Amino acid sequence: MSYQLEDVRPMFELRKRNYIVTGGAQGIGFAVTRAICEMGGNVAVMDIQAQPVDPEFNRLSEKFGVKTLYIQTDVTKEQDLNAGFAKALETLGSIDGLVPAAGIAIDKPFIEQTWEEFTRIQEINVRGTFFITQLATKQMLKQGTGGSIVLIASQSAHIGLPGYRMAAYNASKGGVLMLSKALAVELAPHNIRVNTISPGFVDSEMTKKVRDMKSQREGEQMWMAPPMQRLSTQNDLTGAVVYLLSDAARFTTAADIPITGGLHVGTIDGLISYETK
Ligand X SMILES: NC(=O)c1ccc[n+]([C@@H]2O[C@H](COP(=O)([O-])OP(=O)(O)OC[C@H]3O[C@@H](n4cnc5c(N)ncnc54)[C@H](O)[C@@H]3O)[C@@H](O)[C@H]2O)c1
Active site residue 181: no
19, 148, 154, 156: which is the annotated catalytic residue?
154
Work out which of 148, 207, 238, 246 binds ligand X, going by CB under 6 A. Answer: 207
Active site residue 208: no
**CB burial readout 113-122, b (16+ within 10 A) else e:** beeeebeebb
148 binds ligand X (CB under 6 A): no
Active site residue 169: yes
The whole-angstrom separation of Cα 121 and Cα 102 is: 11
The whole-angstrom separation of Cα 200 and Cα 237 is: 10
Question: Which of the ranges 26-34, 36-44, 178-186, 244-252 carries the binding residues for ligand X, by CB under 6 A?
Answer: 26-34
Strands (E), 172-240: 192-199
The whole-angstrom separation of Cα 84 and Cα 72 is: 7
User: Of 27 and 175, which CB lies nearer to ligand X in the complex structure?
Assistant: 27
Q: SS3 of 1, please?
A: coil
The whole-angstrom separation of Cα 125 and Cα 28 is: 14
User: Of 230 and 250, which CB lies nearer to ligand X in the complex structure?
Assistant: 230
User: Of 29 and 147, which CB lies nearer to ligand X in the complex structure?
Assistant: 29
User: Of 42 and 154, which CB lies nearer to ligand X in the complex structure?
Assistant: 154
Q: Which positions from 92 to 131 touch ligand X by CB under 6 A, shown as an x/- string?
A: ---------xxxxx------------------x-------
- List beta partners, residue 152: 197
Q: Which positions from 175 to 194 touch ligand X by CB under 6 A, shown as an x/- string?
A: --------------------
User: Of 13 and 203, which CB lies nearer to ligand X in the complex structure?
Assistant: 203
Closest CA to 164 of 236, 263, 249: 263
CB 179 within 8 A of CB 129: yes
The H helix count followed by the E strand count for the chain is 9, 7
Site for ligand X, rule CB under 6 A: 22-23, 25-29, 47-49, 73-76, 101-105, 124, 152, 154, 199, 201-202, 204-207
Active site residues: 154, 169, 173
